[in-house]
Amino acid sequence: MMVRETKLKGCYIIEPKIFNDSRGYFFESFNQKTFNELTNQNVNFVQDNESFSSRGVLRGLHFQTRDHAQAKLVRVIKGSVLDVAVDIRIDSETFGEHVAVELTEDNKHQLFIPRGFAHGFVVLSDKAIFSYKCDNFYNKEAEGGIIFNDQDLQIDWRLQEEDLIISEKDMELTTFKELFI
């Protein structure tokens, strides 16, 4: 497993070691000991989620507030997505900055997004199965979000806006400035 820190402190791209043979492939999709050692974390994941989406589906940008904040380890099982993590830690040097990483069934890369980030992704392939671990439980009352096309964040989602499929809830999300400035 290889780990690279992104320009956002504490946010890592993880490249698992893939073992290919005549039967197919094998890899450790998560190994707590190796993960904690290489990322300098002590994360205790408590919830696993999976979602299925078609091309153009954009989910996000989501976070949970205060004690309910979640670190996430995200990956793609089928298809490909552009995954985006936005630093919303107000005391961070990179507050308001984001990383966008392509996660695909072929590259098998994972993104570790620490607490204090907003997260979203858009599906680039026909279909995608997205899978992630969270270190805190889902809490409906603590849900927060930022509108995907926020003027200050300037995220390039790669697809035309008219091709995006977004939930009503996500279309009503507020701006970065309204939340934090």
Ligand X SMILES: Cc1cn([C@H]2C[C@H](O)[C@@H](COP(=O)(O)OP(=O)(O)O[C@H]3O[C@@H](C)C(=O)[C@@H](O)[C@H]3O)O2)c(=O)[nH]c1=O
Nearest to ligand X of 29, 49 (CB atom): 49
Nearest Cα residue to 60 out of 121, 110, 112, 111: 121
Angstrom CA distances, 52 to 32, 71, 77, stand at 26, 21, 10
Select the span of 16-24, 25-33, 35-43, 114-122 touching ligand X (CB under 6 A).
114-122
133 is a contact residue toward ligand X (CB under 6 A): no
154 Cβ contact partners less than 8 Å away, ≥ 6 residues apart = none
Residue with structure tokens 């197919």? 24
**Mask of contacts with ligand X, 39-58, x by CB under 6 A?**
----------x-x-------
Among 32, 40, 65, 167, binds ligand X (CB under 6 A): 167
Nearest distance from C-beta of residue 25 to ligand X, angstroms: 26
59 is a contact residue toward ligand X (CB under 6 A): yes
Instruction: Answer yes or no: 119 catalytic.
Output: no
Alpha helices in the chain (DSSP H): 32-39, 168-171, 176-180
Please count the residues of this chain forming the interface with ligand X, following the rule CB under 6 A: 11
62 Cβ contact partners less than 8 Å away, ≥ 6 residues apart = 118, 119, 120, 143, 144, 145
Select the span of 3-11, 100-108, 117-125, 172-180 touching ligand X (CB under 6 A).
117-125
